[in-house]
Amino acid sequence: MKKKNKVAAATNWPLTILLILGCLTVIFPLYMAVVIAFKKPSEMTNDIAGALSLPKSWSFENFAEAMRVTDFWHSLGYSVMITVITVVLAILIHSIAGYAIGRSMAKSKFYKFSYLYIVSGMFVPFAILMMPLVKQTAQMGVDNWFGVILCYLVFYMPMNVMLYSGYLKNIPIALEEAAFVDGATTWTTYWKVIFPIMKPMHATVAVLTALGTWNDVMTPLVIMSGTGTNTLPLAQLTFQTQFGTNYNLAFASYLLALIPILLFYIVCQKQVINGVVNGAVK
Amino acid sequence: MKKKVIAVLLMATVLTGMVATTGCGNSADKDGKTHITLVQYKPEAVKAFEKMEEEFNATHDDIVLQIESPNDAMTVLKTRFIKEDTPDIIGIGGDVNFSSFIDSDMLMDISDFEGISEIKPAYLEIAKNLEYVPEDGVFSMPYVANAAGVLYNKDMFEEHGWEIPTTWSEFTALCDEIQSEGIQPLYFGFKDTWTCLAPWNALAVDLAPADVCQQVNKGETTFSDEYAEISEKMLELLPYGPEDPFAYNYNDACTAFANGESAMYTIGNYAVPQITSVNPDMNIDSFVMPGSDNADENVLNSGIDLQFCVTSDCENKEAAYEVLSYLLADETVQIYLDDQSAVPCKEGNFELPKVLDGMADYIKEGKMADYQDHYYPAEMSVDAQIQTFLINGDVDAFLKKFDTDWTRYNRDIIRKVQEYEEKNGGNE
Amino acid sequence: MKKKLSRNQTFMLITVPVLLLFFCFNTLPLIKGFMYSFTNFKGFGSYEMVGLRNYADLFTDARVGKSYLFTFKFAILATIVTNVIALLLALGLNAKIKAKSALRGVYFVPRILGGLVVGYIFGYIFTYILPAITGGSSMLSSTKTAWIAIVIVAAWQSIAQTTLIYISGLQTVPEDVYEAGAIDGATGWKSFKELTFPLIIPFFSINMVLSMKDFLMVFDQIMALTKGGPAQSTESISYLIYNNGMGGGQFGFQSANAVLFFVVIVAISVFQLNFTGKKEEQL
């Protein structure tokens, strides 16, 4: 992969074309998914030409039916609520934890230990935590959406703390020292200087955390069981029963669920690019 | 100061959330009525159950019935047991989970429920056989069953004048004939390992004793002896299917059969909705898998698809019985049958699904036996072992592994059975 | 009250509550799960203590052994494939190209698609489309190739996330590094090797750990594509832990498996972190 780095260089056309060609690995499966989402079950076939052909009519019936079956707006509401609160809390809590631990771990054994302790938590298979967590959240009275958020804050902490403290390695400590000289506390320095600089990382963390929570089935399934409320992925389990799967409705539903998170990603990507404070990071 | 305030605020958000949500926990309605919760594991039948719930509540002033049909109900049930939020009634299949629930003393003896006498004895026996060690009492009310064997494309059969086989040699002769006319006789979706169990079970009811697993647990026989013929016949089926049966999954096979790519499909009536979703006009009928060359030995493979059990935690046995008798009323059973294609376990003149025409006599006579895999522990993954064996074709290695794995995965049960035998040996 | 908290005190006030939260929802349930590993608990109902039987069984269970082999073979190949492609992709998407946002959006889609969609589409591609093109048989039906098919799909999905992390890492590389480099005549591969890569090493090590972790815990793609088949050749450790522990009645035994697995991965990643950490210091 050649990468020409002339400042303000002209558009790298060969690379652009190469990347567009590479997109086919995504576009082709996506095309299949879209076509299936518009077809009727009776149009399904094992014949390749038939499977890749366009649907007989571009009716949005499947989408409407999928929305009805999953109680779309209601389930979407729960999914959005859980995801948004998780992401906001994750950015606030994980970034400052990453900062405190990342800045101190070179000097202090306690923070080095804390870092390894949290990161190692990432490797605990969820299956072993599941049953005890179900019991624990029930005993604490948080066997509902809020308990799910608490679990997510803990599940994504290892990755996010890693990301934040990794990012901080490239941010010179001199930036903070300048603020100290002016008499600011560590706390205010963090919010005024470091937090804004980490904007690209906030965007990255937001996307990764949002994705994990948005698509997750297991945590809400076991924690919220019996509450009668569904997140979108939970509601989507309806399409798969023991002896049959309605792929057409399911695909329509998955494509609908894909849109909000894709928009969120695109917005966050802009932050990653525009938020670069290259000049400040010297 | 400011930093503390923010830190406190952060933690406070978390804590208030906890407290706020603790408040609205399970505050049961104090309306003086008895509440009965029923969790059933067939989300596809949710419409029928919503109708039942509505009808029950409209006709009962003192009992409030709440029916839940969650997705992935087995996981949901297990988590609710952990939370000690046990439903009063559970609607589950007659499989190894049911056996474990009985074994863990989680289900109530409902032998004094009078509706039990209206259930076909064959299904009560099937439920009884699922107990690891014989227990006193009845632990479930079998509701509907499904049946498996061979589904066939009726139009295709009529067009070519093929006859329904009643013995194994007739069956293989039929397959040869179909093949000679350039049509593929069977379809398999063995990539989904569980579909390997469909022909396996259908052959096993003809060729092995119904209680083979219990016999093995007692140490009276081995699978190497009992399953040898079944294994050989499974291998004989392979040439009649697609070239690479392990490439296709259940859905591929249903689609292929629906589109006329094969004349027959070794699966149960439960596959019909998936098949007809692809080809709504398809004319499907079924016949019992003729595993034996003695037509009289061939029995229908049928098992309990849905049964209701009262949990031992249920505090209102009478109200639960009231719900059971409502569920068992002819009109209620009909609500279910109108929504789902199924075989009712209740005695009576219910109309059977058309696709089971070829099996109707067996059902009427009660000439049937349960799916053998209902006795297999899920973690032993017998389905995957059968797939492995079909790929490599080594009958001896397969059966040897079956026997050793069986004793390993069932050792706690075997120990229990043997203790029971020692205690009750004199009764035999 | 006006006394300012020192830097250390502030850090302490931040770290301790976070550690407590983490302990409460990760370590505490882990300890409880650890206790189950000494029982024959089925996931419900009554159970008995069985001492170390589950652990003894782990080492004699051929299926568990096979699942470790498969999982590691799979994870190593998938980690390499994913990181190489993702790094190239990140460099490409970070370069001066047209339609940058759209391209980044497209390459991210695989990560969002649910398991059902991915399973169906790739199942179809492997079962029908590829054999039609190559004239061979389905990759998923042979024990020799099924795992490679899973590597392809798993990499296809996780490249999105890995690329994203590399891209955000590349943002910390100041433009003037390249300017200085260009003056020294460092372009292309040399510029990457000597200038860019050393600066994104923290992200390289994060991605190595994250992808290694994701792939060692592979479950979704296996459920979607092979469900452990053909011939039980693609049963991953997580697949066994989940299916036999939750779905089956082996909760106690699979808890023991989970504990062992946890110890193994922690050991590997501590090694990995130390290794890349040393690399970082050297540069």
* Parallel, antiparallel or unpaired: strands A240-241 and B368-369: unpaired
Grouping H, G, I as helix, E, B as strand and the rest as coil, residue B146 is: strand
CB-closest option in B83, B251, B255 to A138: B83
Q: Using CA atoms, how far apart are residues B237 and B185, in angstroms rounded to an integer?
A: 10
Q: What is the pLDDT of residue C135?
A: 85
Q: Which residue of chain C comes nearest to A201, CA vs CA?
A: C168
With the C-alpha atoms ordered B401, B406, B409, B415, is the resulting torsion angle positive or negative? negative
Residue ranges of alpha helices (H) inside B291-356 are: 317-328, 330-339
Find out whether the peptide bond into C230 is cis, omega within 30 degrees of 0.
yes
Asked if residue A161 lies in contact with residue A119, where contact means CB atoms within 8 angstroms, the answer is yes
Chains that touch C (3 or more CB pairs under 8 A): A, B
Q: Which residue of chain A comes nearest to C213, CA vs CA?
A: A123
| Average pLDDT of the residues in C115-123 | 91
DSSP 8-state code for residue B227:
S
The one-letter code for the residue type at C173 is: V
| Residues in chain A within 8 Å Cβ distance of B2 | 187-188
CB-closest option in C18, C112, C213 to A211: C112
CA distance B25 to chain A (A): 6
Is B385 near chain C, with CB under 8 Å? yes
Q: Using CA atoms, how far apart are residues C70 and C72, in angstroms rounded to an integer?
A: 6
Asked if residue B303 lies in contact with residue B197, where contact means CB atoms within 8 angstroms, the answer is no
Structure tokens at A175: 């930036």
Q: Where are the domains of chain B?
A: 34-146+303-357, 148-301+372-423
B193–C138: do the CB atoms touch at under 8 Å? no
* Parallel, antiparallel or unpaired: strands B300-310 and B368-369: parallel
A185–C110: do the CB atoms touch at under 8 Å? no
Q: What is the pLDDT of residue B15?
A: 52
Structure confidence by residue, pLDDT tens digits, A30-76: 999 999 999 999 898 888 888 899 998 898 999 999 999 999 999 99
| Residues in chain B within 8 Å Cβ distance of A89 | 13-14
* C149 has pLDDT over 60: yes
* B295 has pLDDT over 60: yes
* C148 has pLDDT over 50: yes
Is A16 near chain B, with CB under 8 Å? no
Q: What is the pLDDT of residue B388?
A: 95
The structure tokens 């771990």 sit at A105
Q: Which residue of chain A comes nearest to B39, CA vs CA?
A: A226
Grouping H, G, I as helix, E, B as strand and the rest as coil, residue C266 is: helix
Structure confidence by residue, pLDDT tens digits, B16-60: 544 444 433 333 455 778 999 999 999 889 999 999 999 999 999
Cα–Cα separations (whole angstroms), residue B111 to A183, B87, B130, B136:
81, 20, 16, 9
CB-closest option in C21, C172, C242 to A153: C21
Which residues, in sequence order, are CB contacts of B66 under 8 Å at separation 6+?
Answer: B35, B36, B37, B38, B53
| Residues in chain B within 8 Å Cβ distance of A147 | 21
Confidence of residue A5 (pLDDT cuts 50, 70, 90): very low
pLDDT above 90 covers a percentage of chain B that reads 75
Structure tokens at C137: 């048989």
A116 assigned to some structural domain: yes
A66 assigned to some structural domain: no
Mutation target vs C (from B10, B249, B405; most C CBs, 10 A cutoff): B249
Confidence of residue B11 (pLDDT cuts 50, 70, 90): low
A281 assigned to some structural domain: no
pLDDT above 90 covers a percentage of chain A that reads 57
Grouping H, G, I as helix, E, B as strand and the rest as coil, residue B210 is: coil
Superfamily of structural domain C47-282 = MetI-like (1.10.3720.10)
A147 assigned to some structural domain: yes
If you average pLDDT over every residue of chain B, what do you get? Answer: 90
Q: Exposure of C79 by Cβ count < 10 A (0-12 exposed, 13-18 middle, 19+ buried)?
A: buried
- Other beta carbons less than 10 A from residue B111's beta carbon: 10
C246–B14: do the CB atoms touch at under 8 Å? no
Length of chain B: 428
Q: Using CA atoms, how far apart are residues B169 and B165, in angstroms rounded to an integer?
A: 8
Identify the helix (H) or strand (E) that includes residue B290. none
Is C22 near chain A, with CB under 8 Å? yes
Cα–Cα separations (whole angstroms), residue C210 to A152, C152, C214, C221:
17, 18, 6, 17
| Residues in chain C within 8 Å Cβ distance of A21 | none
Is B82 near chain C, with CB under 8 Å? yes
If asked whether residues A127 and A48 sit together in one domain, one would say no
* C31 has pLDDT over 90: yes
The structure tokens 């372009």 sit at C187
What's the gap between Cα C218 and its chain centre? 7
A104 assigned to some structural domain: yes
Q: What is the pLDDT of residue B221?
A: 94
Task: Please tell me if the domain spanning B34-146+303-357 has the same topology as the one spanning B148-301+372-423.
Answer: yes
- Domain extent for A118: 71-274
Domain containing residue A142: CATH number:
1.10.3720.10
Backbone torsions φ then ψ of C49, nearest 5 degrees: -75, 135
| Residues in chain B within 8 Å Cβ distance of A226 | 68, 76, 79-80, 83, 85
Cα–Cα separations (whole angstroms), residue B137 to B107, B131, C86:
10, 11, 62
Q: What is the pLDDT of residue B407?
A: 93
Q: Exposure of C136 by Cβ count < 10 A (0-12 exposed, 13-18 middle, 19+ buried)?
A: exposed
Q: What is the pLDDT of residue A145?
A: 93
If asked whether residues A122 and A15 sit together in one domain, one would say no
Is B310 near chain C, with CB under 8 Å? no
Total tally of structural domains belonging to chain A: 2
CA distance B191 to chain A (A): 15
| Average pLDDT of the residues in B237-255 | 94
Q: How many CB pairs under 8 A join B and C?
A: 98
| Residues in chain C within 8 Å Cβ distance of B82 | 44
B80–A246: do the CB atoms touch at under 8 Å? no
| Average pLDDT of the residues in B262-288 | 94
A222 assigned to some structural domain: yes
If asked whether residues A89 and A40 sit together in one domain, one would say no
What's the gap between Cα B421 and its chain centre? 28
A218 assigned to some structural domain: yes
CA distance A190 to chain B (A): 10
Q: Which residue of chain C comes nearest to B74, CA vs CA?
A: C247
If asked whether residues A55 and A77 sit together in one domain, one would say no
Q: What is the pLDDT of residue B28?
A: 47
If asked whether residues A8 and A145 sit together in one domain, one would say no
The β-bridge partners of B138 are none
CA distance C143 to chain A (A): 23
If asked whether residues A113 and A40 sit together in one domain, one would say no
Q: What is the dihedral of CA B286, B289, B293, B299, to 10 degrees?
A: -100
Domain C-terminal end among A14, A30, A59: A59
Structure confidence by residue, pLDDT tens digits, A197-251: 888 899 999 999 999 999 999 999 999 887 778 899 999 998 988 888 899 999 9
Q: Exposure of B27 by Cβ count < 10 A (0-12 exposed, 13-18 middle, 19+ buried)?
A: exposed
Which of C7-21, C24-38, C186-200 is the least confident region? C186-200
* B398 has pLDDT over 80: yes
Confidence of residue A159 (pLDDT cuts 50, 70, 90): very high
If asked whether residues A146 and A254 sit together in one domain, one would say yes
Mutation target vs A (from C168, C197, C211, C255; most A CBs, 10 A cutoff): C168
The structure tokens 């096993």 sit at B204
CB-closest option in A42, A146, A187 to B21: A146
* A280 has pLDDT over 60: no
* pLDDT higher at C100 or B406: B406
The β-bridge partners of B301 are B148, B369
Structure confidence by residue, pLDDT tens digits, B182-228: 999 999 999 999 999 999 999 999 999 988 999 999 999 999 999 99
What's the gap between Cα B223 and its chain centre? 22
* A4 has pLDDT over 70: no
In the sheet that holds B264-265, the strands lie side by side as B264-265, B150-153, B284-287
> In the CATH hierarchy, which fold is given to the domain comprising B34-146+303-357?
D-Maltodextrin-Binding Protein; domain 2 (3.40.190)
A64 assigned to some structural domain: no
Structure confidence by residue, pLDDT tens digits, B313-364: 999 999 999 999 999 999 999 999 988 889 999 998 888 888 999 999 999 8
The structure tokens 């590597």 sit at C151
Identify the helix (H) or strand (E) that includes residue B152. strand B150-153
CB-closest option in A222, A226, A244 to B273: A244
Confidence of residue C171 (pLDDT cuts 50, 70, 90): confident
Which C residues in the span 2-21 are in contact with A, Cβ-Cβ below 8 Å?
A: 4-8, 10-11, 14-15, 18-19, 21
| Average pLDDT of the residues in A9-36 | 90
* Parallel, antiparallel or unpaired: strands A240-241 and A244-245: antiparallel
Q: What is the pLDDT of residue A273?
A: 64
> In the CATH hierarchy, which fold is given to the domain comprising B148-301+372-423?
D-Maltodextrin-Binding Protein; domain 2 (3.40.190)
